[in-house]
């Protein structure tokens, strides 16, 4: 069965420092990978996705993610964190099957001023 | 361009009751998916509708049912509510069935079952 793992419940980063939010996946075949962000009392917002091609994808708000097929990872990164980046981040995979998109359990990112 | 809207925002029901949640998709989007997000968890896929037909279902019992209307808006119905149905219910629309399409989420409906 396909699955997505976000090994860290919470990540704390000082403002201005680089941040990484980890995601690994387990699927058979070639997945489409996504990152979404959720602010308090809001729905999820799309950040970026990997379909094919360049392993480094760039998205909204200065975020980027690196697809690593050999390590089955899709870590979210940002060179310089902002306090406003504090939110809940979800990694997701879609294999276009009946169980559609599968989300990780989320990682709470806390940027310290 | 209007985003995805959901109603109501909050809802309180008792065990055994039935509930209907509503969703208006983003303009131009013909595909709607519903998710259940329990506290502290990621969203779990309930089902997806494409042009008024169900197109895929997650691991949810038949008491979770849905509809999609000609204008692509959608309803989620839950019968015989259980305490564990308490969650944030999210609706998301996309411009088609392609798995590489990102989804556009509404703000959710917070359902509390007492």
> pLDDT (tens digit, 9 = 90+) per residue, A56-77?
999 999 999 999 999 999 999 9
DSSP, collapsed to helix, strand or coil, labels residue B3 as coil
Backbone angles phi, psi at A103, to 5 degrees: -100, 150
Q: Which residues of B touch A105 (CB under 8 A)?
A: 40-42
pLDDT of residue B34: 97
Chain mean position to CA A65: 7
Partner residues linked to B94 by β-bridges: B31
Identify the CA nearest to A25 among candidates A77, A76, A93, A88: A93
> Furthest-apart CA pair in chain A: how many Å?
43
Among chain B residues, the shortest Cα distance to A9 is held by: B40
Among A4, A10, A23, A100, the strongest candidate for a mutation testing the B interface, having the largest count of B CBs within 10 A, is: A100
Partner residues linked to A12 by β-bridges: A110
- pLDDT tens, position by position, A13-59: 999 999 999 999 998 778 899 999 999 877 899 999 999 889 999 99
Contact B42 A99 (CB under 8 A): no
Distance from CA of B47 to the nearest CA of A (A): 8
pLDDT of residue B1: 55
pLDDT of residue A4: 93
At B15, is the pLDDT very low, low, confident or very high (cuts 50, 70, 90)? very high
Distance from CA of B94 to the nearest CA of A (A): 12
Question: Could you give the CA distance from residue A42 to residue A44 in angstroms, rounded to a whole number?
Answer: 7
pLDDT of residue A31: 86
Q: Which residues of B touch A42 (CB under 8 A)?
A: 107-108
Q: Decide if B25 contacts B32 (C-beta within 8 A).
A: yes
- The encoded tokens of residue A79 equal 């060179």
Backbone angles phi, psi at B12, to 5 degrees: -120, 125
pLDDT of residue A98: 59
Identify the CA nearest to A35 among candidates B102, B69, B27: B102
- pLDDT tens, position by position, B54-112: 988 999 999 999 999 999 999 999 999 999 999 999 999 999 888 888 999 999 999 99
Exposure string (b/e) for A72-87, b if CB count within 10 Å is 16 or more? bbbbbebeebeeebbb
């Amino acid at each position: 069965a396909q699955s997505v793992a976000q090994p860290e419940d919470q990540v704390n980063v000082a403002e201005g420092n680089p941040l990484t939010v980890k995601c690994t996946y387990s699927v058979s075949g070639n997945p489409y990978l996504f990152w979404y962000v959720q602010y308090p009392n809001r729905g999820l917002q799309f950040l970026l996705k990997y379909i094919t091609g360049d392993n480094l994808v760039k998205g909204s708000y200065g975020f980027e993610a690196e697809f690593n097929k050999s390590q089955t990872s899709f870590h979210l990164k940002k060179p310089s964190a902002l306090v406003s980046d504090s939110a809940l981040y979800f990694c997701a995979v879609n294999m276009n099957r009946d169980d559609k998109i599968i989300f990780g359990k989320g990682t709470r990112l806390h940027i310290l001023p | 361009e209007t985003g995805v809207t959901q109603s109501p925002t909050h809802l309180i029901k008792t065990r055994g009751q039935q509930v209907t949640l509503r969703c208006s998709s983003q303009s131009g989007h013909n595909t709607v998916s519903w998710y259940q997000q329990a506290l502290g968890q990621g969203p779990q896929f309930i089902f997806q509708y494409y042009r008024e037909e169900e197109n895929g279902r997650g691991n949810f019992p038949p008491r979770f049912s849905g509809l999609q209307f000609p204008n692509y808006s959608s309803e989620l119905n839950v019968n015989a509510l259980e305490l564990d149905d308490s969650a944030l219910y999210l609706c998301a629309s996309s411009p088609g069935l392609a798995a590489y399409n990102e989804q556009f989420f509404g703000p959710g409906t917070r359902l509390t079952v007492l």
